[in-house]
Structure 1
Amino acid sequence: MSKNKLKTEKPESKKPKAPAPNPDVLKKDKEPEVKVKELVKDERTHKVMGVFFLLLSVYCFIAFTSYLFTWEDDQDKVFRYSTKELLIGDVKVDNLLGRLGAYVSHNFFYNGVGIAAYLFCYFFFIIGVNFIVGRRVFRVWRNVKYIIFGLLFISMSMAFVANGADFPWGGALGNALDKWTSGFVGKTGTALLLLVAGFSWLIWKFNFNFKWPEKKVKPPKPAPVAPVVATSPVPATPAANMQATAPVPEPARGNSLKGNVSMAPQLQEEEEEVEEIPMQLIEKEVEPVMPAHVPYMPPVAPTPPPQPPVAKMPAPPEPEMIEEEEEEEEDPGPLLYVEEVLEEAPAPPKKRNQPEEVAFEIKETFKDEEDDTEELATVRPTVPVDPYDPSLDLRDYRYPGLDLLENHNADKIIVQDTGELEKNKNQIIDTLKNYDISIQKISATVGPTVTLYEIVPAAGVRISRIKNLEDDIALSLSALGIRIIAPIPGKGTIGIEVPNVKKSIVSLKNLLASEKFQSSTMDLPIALGKKIDNENFIADLAKMPHLLMAGATGQGKSVGINTLLVSLLYKKHPSQLKFVLVDPKKVELSLYKLIEKHFLAKLPGEDDAIITDTKKVIHTLNALCIEMDLRYDLLKEAGTRNIREYNAKFTQRRLNPQKGHRYLPFIVLVVDEFADLIMTAGKEVEMPIARLAQLARAVGIHLIIATQRPSVNIITGTIKANFPARVAFKVSSKIDSRTILDIGGAEQLIGQGDMLVSFNGELVRLQCAFVDTPEVESVAEFIGHQKGYPDAFLLPEYVDDKDTDGKELSLADRDPLFEEAAQVIVQNQQGSTSLLQRRMKLGYNRAGRLMDQLEAAGIVGPNMGSKARDVLVKTESELQEILNDLL
């Protein structure tokens, strides 16, 4: 045999072939693995246990209560029959819960703790509530301690009180404790022990304040004291000792009151600075008691000897004075501090003569009295008036109801398939492992349209590595719109937002019906949508204070505007809010025409309150600027800083309407397509918009601007700087996202109301609330069919300078408001252009032209610079003669 042949045969002899599988023998099925740990941690298991404990609590309560009335009949049967007979036999019992109820109650009462058995019902109840809710509503350990104490104390107390009774009030445990304790310390000792235990528990639980009433120190009569204080350089009487410790007084009454208090001499080594505080407390206590002696002592004020005091305040009265002051001031802090210093912290003798600190203490004493004087001045007798209510003009106005809106089958978020969540989780983990990135933890939060997966990377993993895998994760999940947040602000996790396969609609009705919106006290509450964790996002437009919205066509901008407007309609009264609607598309905001006499504002003389013409838009924006200036003038005259303070003063009737003051409603300017206005009007629109954005928030004018072209030539830097709150729907590129939000991410949204909101320095992803066109029509019709104001809210009239250029001043072609302006000037005898602006709601240019015409007619004098013009006509009869001559 050859050598090669031996080499090939040798391994074959060592490795015999495995026998072929027998097709007749079936493989043993793999038994499913039961994960007990996961079953115990399952939320459903907790809820089932919670229901069980709640039912057990109710069961025991009913059984125990029935036992109180049926124990005589049932106890004999429990004693007579065995446990087996009670459970299996046909013994008839009177307990409402049958033989089991009678048996359980007998053991808890007779063989257990008596009437204290009801504590077990409470224990089962708190356990059940905690399990069902899924969080610690009741502190179990603290309640267990109280329950254990109650079982021992109540059972023993009931056994002691009801000793010899037929009913087992204390049960076997209470009888045993009572028998042992009575034999050990006797009946009287047992009673005392129970009283001490009961009161000790009450004191520990409620911390009662036991305070012995202190006797007030009665000051002696001051008549014999005054000569001693005035003549004796070294005090020899208790009153003189008290006077010696006082500092150089500022007011006279302080010395008189201090001289009226009897004190005993003390050692000179005691510290003077600390004891002056109790003296002031004595001063406050004595002052209301002896007001008749106050005029007696002023001549003594300049006579105190200049040498250092030789006598001190006695120690015994000090705590009494301090306790009395605590009762009056209800501020134990400073007094306890003074008491501690008096006992422990004597100051060095060099601090005895410090008039600055003494004077400071005296000022604090008088501060309360000065405050009292101010309060008296504030509440001086005035004619009581009712506060002004602007809503009384439409007292019968009814807010729209939620029945006008639809649910859109969105009562609950569609719970994603557990298998899909598990699959996405595994895909994310595997993708990261392929790039040697390990994670410690991953969790999922299911939202209306997006699920947020939060991962905690292992130590040493760079966040940038995970951020760069955005496209790879999207590829592995086969999903569109993956967005990675690295890291999530305020958390130590990295977020991966994955669109849901099954998306749910967020209904506006659900947001408006929420407690967060209904109980909101915001000035202008708006319901935008829901967060990923299903939390309602309710914001205050007055604090934004302006909102910039952008997004591609068909991504939800118009629905978002309707959501904001309907939110405000559901919360505000027509007297509190007005809308200025600009709709270059001419069809989006036409639904709100029905509420013109309730909520809309327009220019004087205009037929349609919804502005569609570009030239009228320019006039309206400038009219809003005039309204803003007028409101700032009103705030200045009223001495207020914002619209809330001004309206509060006006409703309290502290402002005179005859001087031009009026209630100021909030004004919300809504521009549906801002890009079209910029393309057609340019700077004529941008400048008033920028001015309103910069200044109008304090006077209650707020802007909502929407555009589908978030480019830098549309949303300029001036506009962006004054719109801190921004909403971005899906856009086409990252550049557009950076233009609107200053950060990317909007290009990765999935559309249909999916949006990013930048507010208060945070970037939040929301699903915009949906309200359909028929719903908006229903709300508008409901409001429009009610009684409204005679006309829409009129903005100040604006006349373009281009329309008046080249025209000479002529009384034959005078302003239509000439006669009204003349009457205002003559009635107020003040030739001021700002007066015409405030009283007639005019712009500065028109008010100036009216003043020039009044000068040409001889009603006012020439311009005097910053001063008001002289009014040449003094009476209305003279004015009427001038007006008749001009006809």
Structure 2
Amino acid sequence: MPPKGNQFRTNTIKDENKPRQTGVNGEKARTSRVKIEKLPVFDLKDGRLAKVAGLFFLILSVYFLTAFTSYIFTWQEDQSYVSRANGGWSNLFKTTQELALKDIDPVVDNWLGKLGALLSNQFIYEWFGVASFLFVFIFFVIGYRLLFKVRLFSVSKTLAYTLFCIVFLSVTLGFLHSFINDTPHFLEGEFGYFTNRLLAVQIGQTGIAGLLAFAGLTVLIIAYNIDFKLPERKRPVAPEVVPNVVPEPVDLVDEEPSIPVEWPRNGGNNTVRDRLAANTAKPEPVVPAEPIRQQQMVQNPVFHEPVVLRPDNTIHEPEAEDIEIPLTVETERPTAVLNIEKTDTEKANELVEQFGTFDPTLDLASYKYPPLELLENYGSNKISVNADELEANKNKIVETLNHYNIEIDKIKATIGPTVTLYEIIPAPGVRISKIKNLEDDIALSLAALGIRIIAPMPGKGTIGIEVPNQHPEMVSMRSVLATEKFQNTTMDLPIALGKTISNEVFIADLAKMPHLLVAGATGQGKSVGINAILVSLLYKRHPAELKFVLVDPKKVELTLFRKIERHFLAKLPDEADAIITDTKKVINTLNSLCIEMDQRYDLLKDAQVRNLKEYNAKFINRKISNPEKHRFLPFIVLIVDEFADLMMTAGKEVEMPIARLAQLARAVGIHLVIATQRPSVNIITGTIKANFPARLAFRVLSKIDSRTILDAGGADQLIGRGDMLLSTGSDLIRLQCAFVDTPEVEKISDYIGGQRGYPSAHMLPEYVGDGDEGGSVKDFDPNDRDPMFEDAARLIVLHQQGSTSLIQRKLKLGYNRAGRIIDQLEAAGIVGPFEGSKARDVLYPDEYSLERHLESLAGKGGE
């Protein structure tokens, strides 16, 4: 049904000049409907009434402010005029002559006359005192909202908190007035005065003070959810291990060690021998080192006891003449830990009691998480959709559905930062498919880009229509990370993706996804989404708990994270750069991750656990029987910025390790984030795609691409600029990606990179490929080379193409001989290894460098 304000008046007019149509009863009649001008109806839905009401409340707030302010200065004169003995409100409409007959002075000192004096006396003196000034604030907020359509504060919360403050201030001032008798009575009003007298009889002055404190703190808890925390007692850092062994005159705890001793990083206690070594060593200068080598600690694998190493890596042992107590202390150490009759649980409890739980973060105990001030606060974080836009869109949707004889029972709107969701409940008997087919018609009537119809909405008995806002609001990364939902999350790998269409912060756990496929057309926000994922993890995880493996074929997107190499990045041994841009190094890194995965599974098998979380918990609580074989395992997140480029250049060599990691790496804490423009079958194969249930789709250009990414439509209806759909297998969620700009990422990298870090990046297991085994210059025998070897070498360098077919054609050789020459050229270091269908790389750019290399080979052959 169309709204009341848009009704048309219709008249039925008989036309006598034209033949009449035959009706059911045989009579002829002709009717025609004539549309008349739309008549304005002044009802509650019209905007003019709201504007008039808003103007009234604004003027009322100014009137009350003027009257109350005047009453502060003229309250004695105004009170004498409006006192009950003189009639009070009954004198409001009496003339000056009538007041003179009653011996009442008709002159009022209030700035707003008799009405101002009466209102001020009623509100301030007889009701709530000076707390009545808060009524001015209430009227102003309501009037400003109605007149200008701008929400300064929530009206409901403003009314609730302000009315409480009025009552609370009135009673509090009345309580204070009972101790100070020379203050005017209008400060608390009669309400506060008599309320205090009543409460004083019932609970006394002390009870009133306690009641006021309780009421104030209760409102603070409701409004701000403040926490009341008692100061925690600090746990002793070094509890005594060997009781009653050291003679009493020797105090080993209070003496200052001659060399600064770094206590064990595993949270354990120092032994007596170590403390003796620290106390009896001769003073030596402390050499500052970079970055963690100031005082290296070696932990005993069984007891996790420290052995102090000097800066020159020599073990500091105490000398015999420096020790004044018997050296039998070490042999008298309690051996209860090694008692084979005790269970593993008892052993673990004793180890925890003696040394404490293992803390992997102690290596970088001074590490500070990046503050929120490094991020910019874009936008106002307020929804800018006004009531007029909502009303207009609603009317157009209803009108379009009415054109196709589709009636609806109810419609409601949910406003988001970039999209507004209109939920409609169709009338009984209306087919859902009929509404779903009107997607283009509704988009035409709304003149909007990216109308998306969800029919039906999951878990609801409604049909959703998503309409983009005329003025979308940018979602800043700072506004998302500053929320209580992100700060107090207990997820293993929380990633703040942005906000939903209901303006709620959306946080997902990468550890449970367990891998994420990001896709979308160029320029729609994939790189910003990758940065948002990285920044979210940097704000929640310690360097000891998380490592990144970054693959950037474009060479420019992830370079800003090079500064955090010694904190968060992982790389192959002997690699110069931790951010991988070369395809060959990507293949080696992926295979190295597979080796790391297999090693971790071996550790989990030995520890008799099923996943990384259980393994680390067991390791921290020292419940692993042979700790010397085990280590704390951080999460590893592999991020590939453009996967399609790797598949085009490497193909199967990349597909196999990616498929293995996608299938098996979840349980051992290795997770993949792969970004590509279009995950077609030749880019993301079926084996890989089946292990990526979580898919993040930005705007694409066709429905086919949307179905390729999400296995459903909708990504082609997005509006771009961070608008995205997240598919978690069973649900499809529309989000606005949190925006983090390049300068913000640079600030975060500088802040983390400027802190003390590990000596180097986290080292992955070394991988030796098939092409790296043999074929080196050492295996090359110059005396056993082909006579056409040098000619073939010059030919290859001249054409810069290392192929067997080129040697066959130019030198007129057979395939077998040309293949042997190519193998000799590879062994001599002139061409690179075999790379499938691609031509071998030529390692010398010109003939001059080649001739010098051939001379060196000839010299080795002569020797």
TM-score, scaled relative to structure 1: 0.54
Counterpart secondary structure, 1:697: coil
> 1: CA distance between counterparts of 2:350 and 2:721?
62
CA gap 1:122/1:676 in 2 versus in 1, 3 angstroms: same
Q: Which of 747, 769, 772 pairs up with 2:741?
A: 772
CA gap 1:445/1:794 in 2 versus in 1, 3 angstroms: same
Alignment correspondent of 1:820: none
CA gap 1:450/1:381 in 2 versus in 1, 3 angstroms: closer
> Are 2:554 and 1:585 equivalent residues in the alignment?
yes
Tell me the amino acid that sits aligned with residue 403 of structure 1. Answer: E
CA gap 1:657/1:96 in 2 versus in 1, 3 angstroms: farther
Alignment correspondent of 1:737: 706
Tell me the amino acid that sits aligned with residue 185 of structure 2. Answer: G
* Cα deviation, residue 446, structure 1: 1.4
* Cα deviation, residue 719, structure 1: 1.2
> Are 2:409 and 1:440 equivalent residues in the alignment?
yes
Q: Which of 141, 160, 164 pairs up with 1:54?
A: 164
CA gap 1:627/1:512 in 2 versus in 1, 3 angstroms: same
Q: More displaced, 383-392 or 674-683? A: 383-392
- The one-character-per-residue Cα deviations of 1:408-443 (angstroms, maximum 9, x if unpaired) are 2x2422321211111001000100111111111111
The answer to whether the 8 Å contact 1:66/1:96 transfers is no
Q: More displaced, 37-46 or 551-560? A: 37-46
Alignment correspondent of 2:505: 536
The answer to whether the 8 Å contact 1:547/1:705 transfers is yes
CA gap 1:776/1:52 in 2 versus in 1, 3 angstroms: closer
Q: Which of 157, 163, 185 pairs up with 1:98?
A: 185
* Cα deviation, residue 780, structure 1: 0.9
* Cα deviation, residue 565, structure 1: 0.6
- The one-character-per-residue Cα deviations of 1:681-740 (angstroms, maximum 9, x if unpaired) are 111111110110110011110000000122222122211110111100001111111111
CA gap 1:683/1:58 in 2 versus in 1, 3 angstroms: same
- The one-character-per-residue Cα deviations of 1:135-174 (angstroms, maximum 9, x if unpaired) are xxxxxxxxxxxxxxxxxxxxxxxxxxxxxxxxxxxxxxxx
Counterpart secondary structure, 1:709: coil
CA gap 1:660/1:377 in 2 versus in 1, 3 angstroms: closer
- The one-character-per-residue Cα deviations of 1:576-612 (angstroms, maximum 9, x if unpaired) are 1111111111111111111111111111121111111
1:281-296 matches, within 5 Å, as none
RMSD: 4.2
CA gap 1:126/1:715 in 2 versus in 1, 3 angstroms: farther
The answer to whether the 8 Å contact 1:62/1:96 transfers is no
1:781-820 matches, within 5 Å, as 781-804=750-773
The answer to whether the 8 Å contact 1:67/1:102 transfers is no
> 2: CA distance between counterparts of 1:102 and 1:583?
72
Tell me the amino acid that sits aligned with residue 796 of structure 1. Answer: P
Counterpart secondary structure, 1:587: coil
> Are 2:611 and 1:524 equivalent residues in the alignment?
no
Q: Which of 472, 475, 490 pairs up with 1:503?
A: 472
| 5+ long unaligned stretches in structure 1 | 1-6, 9-26, 71-93, 135-371, 813-887
Tell me the amino acid that sits aligned with residue 360 of structure 2. Answer: P
The answer to whether the 8 Å contact 2:494/2:540 transfers is yes
> 1: CA distance between counterparts of 2:186 and 2:420?
53
> 2: CA distance between counterparts of 1:787 and 1:122?
52
* Cα deviation, residue 773, structure 1: 0.6
Tell me the amino acid that sits aligned with residue 386 of structure 1. Answer: G
> 2: CA distance between counterparts of 1:769 and 1:29?
44
> 2: CA distance between counterparts of 1:116 and 1:622?
77
The answer to whether the 8 Å contact 1:95/1:102 transfers is no
The answer to whether the 8 Å contact 1:693/1:703 transfers is yes
CA gap 1:376/1:675 in 2 versus in 1, 3 angstroms: closer
Alignment correspondent of 1:571: 540
Counterpart secondary structure, 1:738: helix
Q: Which of 412, 419, 422 pairs up with 2:391?
A: 422
> 2: CA distance between counterparts of 1:455 and 1:28?
27
> Are 2:375 and 1:405 equivalent residues in the alignment?
yes
* Cα deviation, residue 377, structure 1: 9.2
The answer to whether the 8 Å contact 1:621/1:685 transfers is yes
- The one-character-per-residue Cα deviations of 1:20-57 (angstroms, maximum 9, x if unpaired) are xxxxxxx9997998699999999966445425522331
CA gap 1:48/1:703 in 2 versus in 1, 3 angstroms: closer
Tell me the amino acid that sits aligned with residue 768 of structure 1. Answer: C
> 1: CA distance between counterparts of 2:401 and 2:697?
30
Seq. identity, %: 61
Alignment correspondent of 2:454: 485
Q: More displaced, 637-646 or 801-810? A: 801-810
CA gap 1:649/1:98 in 2 versus in 1, 3 angstroms: same
1:335-414 matches, within 5 Å, as 384-408=354-378, 410-414=379-383
Tell me the amino acid that sits aligned with residue 713 of structure 1. Answer: N
> Are 2:606 and 1:637 equivalent residues in the alignment?
yes
> 1: CA distance between counterparts of 2:364 and 2:541?
13
1:131-170 matches, within 5 Å, as none
1:855-874 matches, within 5 Å, as none
* Cα deviation, residue 516, structure 1: 1.1
Alignment correspondent of 1:878: none
- The one-character-per-residue Cα deviations of 1:654-700 (angstroms, maximum 9, x if unpaired) are 44777431111111000000111111111111111011011001111
TM-score, scaled relative to structure 2: 0.56
Alignment correspondent of 2:844: none
Alignment correspondent of 1:196: none
Alignment correspondent of 2:652: 683
The answer to whether the 8 Å contact 1:413/1:447 transfers is no
| 5+ long unaligned stretches in structure 2 | 1-15, 18-38, 55-141, 147-152, 224-341, 782-863
- The one-character-per-residue Cα deviations of 1:812-863 (angstroms, maximum 9, x if unpaired) are 9xxxxxxxxxxxxxxxxxxxxxxxxxxxxxxxxxxxxxxxxxxxxxxxxxxx
The answer to whether the 8 Å contact 1:547/1:727 transfers is yes
- The one-character-per-residue Cα deviations of 1:500-521 (angstroms, maximum 9, x if unpaired) are 1111111111111111111112
Alignment correspondent of 1:609: 578
Tell me the amino acid that sits aligned with residue 452 of structure 1. Answer: L
> Are 2:728 and 1:759 equivalent residues in the alignment?
yes
Alignment correspondent of 1:550: 519
CA gap 1:446/1:375 in 2 versus in 1, 3 angstroms: same
Alignment correspondent of 1:696: 665
> 1: CA distance between counterparts of 2:417 and 2:385?
10
> 1: CA distance between counterparts of 2:624 and 2:736?
45
CA gap 1:399/1:99 in 2 versus in 1, 3 angstroms: closer
Q: How many residues align?
A: 530
Alignment correspondent of 1:842: none
Counterpart secondary structure, 2:732: strand
CA gap 1:660/1:405 in 2 versus in 1, 3 angstroms: same
> 2: CA distance between counterparts of 1:435 and 1:714?
44
- The one-character-per-residue Cα deviations of 1:241-285 (angstroms, maximum 9, x if unpaired) are xxxxxxxxxxxxxxxxxxxxxxxxxxxxxxxxxxxxxxxxxxxxx
> 2: CA distance between counterparts of 1:615 and 1:424?
55
Counterpart secondary structure, 2:485: helix
> 1: CA distance between counterparts of 2:572 and 2:499?
37
Counterpart secondary structure, 1:384: helix
